[in-house]
Amino acid sequence: MNKSSEQNKNEVELIDYTFPQMKRYHWSILIIGCFVIGFLLYFPLGTKLHDLISSSITQIPGCQLSYNSLKIEFFLPKVIIEDLSIPAHCAKSSEDIFLKSATIYFNGPSFSPIGISTSLETQIGKDIIEINQSLGPTSQIFKIDDKKALMNSADPEIIARVATEMLNSISYEDAEKK
């Protein structure tokens, strides 16, 4: 038994208990990667974003919009709002504006003005409207696409009000003051 116990001791001494030769930055990347994957798997990012957008739409001061459903798509980021109703006093029109579907797309960065570019695509009656917005730190630009906008009956001021309130979540009057 002495010989076998000595042999076991020698075998234990021969085992290499050191970690493989990973550099410090490899360990840092591995740890940060595990944290990011764990965060994305367990943090309800979609629900938080849905709640934020929902509260932004329904809690505009002096103009409470209502909608039936809100969908968020992360691949080619966009927000789809179904059955959106804008009260008449918000658009200063004689009747409520009803939008069957309104889609807000993220277009990426904008270079004039430097900032974020989004677009709103909707239909008012028979008029298909696409409004592009470039939002910079000190200014914003709206561009209505002439090829998609069939403005036979739509009032341009109503369209500007709808776009401002939906894209910025503030009333048109507040946006004019800024």
**Could you read off the pLDDT of 6-39 as tens digits, one per residue?**
666 666 677 666 666 667 778 888 899 999 988 8
pTM, rounded to two decimals = 0.60
* Integer Cα distance of 176 and 178 in angstroms: 5
pLDDT score for 25:
78
User: Domain limits of the chain?
Assistant: 2-42, 45-177
Among 123, 126, 133, 125, residue whose Cα is nearest residue 168: 133
* Integer Cα distance of 72 and 105 in angstroms: 10
The number of angstroms, rounded, from the C-alpha of 157 to the middle of its chain's C-alpha atoms is 26
Q: How far apart are the first and last CA of the chain?
A: 91
DSSP state of 66: B
Helix (H) or strand (E) holding 26: helix 24-42
pLDDT score of 171 more than 90: no
